[in-house]
């Protein structure tokens, strides 16, 4: 038996087959009959045995999502000018513990999420993140076309593709990369 679904499917099939013969069983009764077919006193005992031998990855079904970088910022105005005005991100949400408390927020663009934090313990300035993307030539032209006097990034050809690297006002770097196909 591979997992719970096999035993439950067996119980369902048994119930349906008996129903065609005008024999009604509850789902619980069908589960108990399947357990007895495997030599166990009850469904609970069989279920425990199945769970004990089932591989953890099937049982837990872990799902790792893309990481969300946290960048340290020191000025909300400068951060918003750079990330929203220049890079084209949008603010998804903002959080402060109180009126004069530091900002913690999430920004996003095209499915990429980032957190910006004024909290001193959240991150160190000067961090770097690598962002795979498509359409880097268009993105580069978009950035160059903006009137942002602090940054005019280049488009660099590297052995693994094309890159545009930007540095925010707090020395955090983002390298956008369109990888070579093939």
Q: Output the CA torsion sign for 77, 78, 81, 87.
A: negative
Query: What is the percent of the chain with per-residue pLDDT over 90, rounded to a whole number?
Result: 54
Q: Tell me, what's the pLDDT at 4?
A: 57
- Tell me the CATH number for domain 70-179: 3.10.180.10
Q: Which residues contact 160 (CB under 8 A, 6 or more apart)?
A: 177, 179, 180
Q: Which carries the bigger pLDDT value, residue 82 or residue 4?
A: 82
Summarised one tens digit per residue, pLDDT across range 108-151 is: 999 999 999 999 888 888 999 999 999 999 999 999 999 899 99
- Judged by average pLDDT, the poorest of 75-84, 94-103, 161-170 is 94-103
Under 8 Å between Cβ of 96 and 104: yes
- 107: how many CB neighbours lie within 10 A of its CB? 22
Q: pTM, whole model, 2 decimals?
A: 0.66
Going from N- to C-terminal start, the domains of the chain cover: 4-60, 70-179
Under 8 Å between Cβ of 103 and 116: yes
Torsion of CA 128, 130, 131, 136, to 10 degrees: 100
Q: Tell me, what's the pLDDT at 31?
A: 77
- pLDDT above 60 (res 58): no
- pLDDT above 90 (res 87): yes
Under 8 Å between Cβ of 175 and 128: yes
Q: Tell me, what's the pLDDT at 18?
A: 76
Q: Which carries the bigger pLDDT value, residue 178 or residue 43?
A: 178
Closest CA to 164 of 123, 119, 133: 133
Q: Token pair of 121, please?
A: 């313990």
């Amino acid at each position: 038996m591979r997992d719970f679904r096999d035993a439950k499917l067996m119980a369902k099939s048994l119930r349906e087959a008996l129903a065609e013969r005008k024999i009604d069983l509850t789902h619980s009764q069908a589960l108990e009959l399947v357990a007895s077919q495997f030599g166990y006193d009850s469904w609970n005992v069989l279920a425990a045995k199945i769970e004990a031998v089932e591989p953890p990855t099937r049982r837990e079904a872990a799902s790792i999502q893309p990481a969300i970088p946290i960048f340290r910022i020191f000025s909300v105005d400068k951060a918003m000018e750079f990330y929203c005005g220049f890079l084209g991100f949008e603010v998804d949400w903002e959080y402060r513990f109180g009126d004069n408390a530091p900002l913690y927020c999430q920004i996003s663009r095209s499915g990429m999420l980032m957190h910006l934090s004024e909290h001193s313990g959240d991150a160190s300035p000067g961090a770097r993140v690598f962002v795979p993307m498509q359409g880097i030539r268009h993105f580069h032209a978009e950035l160059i076309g903006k009137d942002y006097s602090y940054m005019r990034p280049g488009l660099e050809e590297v052995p693994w593709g094309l890159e545009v690297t930007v540095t925010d006002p707090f020395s955090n770097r983002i390298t956008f990369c369109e990888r070579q196909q093939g």
